[in-house]
Amino acid sequence: MFDRLQKPFLTVETGEAYQPIRLTYTLNNKDSFIQAIEKLQCIKKNTTPNSWTWYWMGECTDLHFESLDSFRKNPEHPMRIGTFSLREDKLFLNLPSFKRACLAVPFFYKIVSQDIASIHFADFINKVFAIDEKLPHGFTELLKEEELDRVLHQRIEDYHKVKEQCETAPTAEEALTILSNYTEEEGKKRLPYAERYAFNVIPEQDSDVIFLAFYIYLHGRELVAIKRWFGQAGYSLNDATDEMVDQVFGALGIDIID
| Residue 78: closest CA among 64, 107, 59, 57 | 57
Mean pLDDT in residue range 128-136: 77
Percent pLDDT > 70 in the chain is 70
Whole-number pLDDT of residue 24: 93
Whole-number pLDDT of residue 253: 46
Residue 175 scores a pLDDT above 80: no
Whole-number pLDDT of residue 7: 65
Cβ–Cβ < 8 Å for 69, 15:
yes
Mean pLDDT, the chain, rounded, equals 79
Percent pLDDT > 90 in the chain is 19
Residue 28 scores a pLDDT above 50: yes
User: Pick the residue with more confidence: 153 or 3?
Assistant: 153
> What is the spatial distance between Cα 69 and Cα 236, in angstroms, rounded to a whole number?
28
Mean pLDDT in residue range 135-149: 65
Residue 95 scores a pLDDT above 90: yes
Whole-number pLDDT of residue 1: 46
Whole-number pLDDT of residue 148: 65
Mean pLDDT in residue range 126-138: 76
Q: Residue 23 is inside which H or E element, if any?
A: strand 21-27
Domain positions in the chain: 2-144+190-232
Q: 86-95, 152-161, 207-216: lowest mean pLDDT where?
A: 152-161
Residue 169 scores a pLDDT above 70: yes
User: Pick the residue with more confidence: 249 or 91?
Assistant: 91
What is the identity of the amino acid at 15? G
CA distances from 140 to 124, 137, 257 (A): 12, 8, 46
User: Pick the residue with more confidence: 75 or 14?
Assistant: 14
Full DSSP string of 85-117: EEETTEEEEEESSHHHHHHHHHHHHHHS-TTTE
Each residue's pLDDT tens digit, 204-245: 666 677 688 888 889 999 999 999 888 888 888 888 888 877
Mean pLDDT in residue range 126-144: 73
Give residue 104's pLDDT band: very low, low, confident or very high (50, 70, 90): very high
Max alpha carbon distance in the chain (Å)? 66
| Residue 97: closest CA among 70, 67, 69, 72 | 67
Q: 19-23, 117-121, 237-241: lowest mean pLDDT where?
A: 237-241
Mean pLDDT in residue range 70-96: 82
Give residue 16's pLDDT band: very low, low, confident or very high (50, 70, 90): confident
Q: 79-88, 96-105, 118-127, 186-195: lowest mean pLDDT where?
A: 186-195
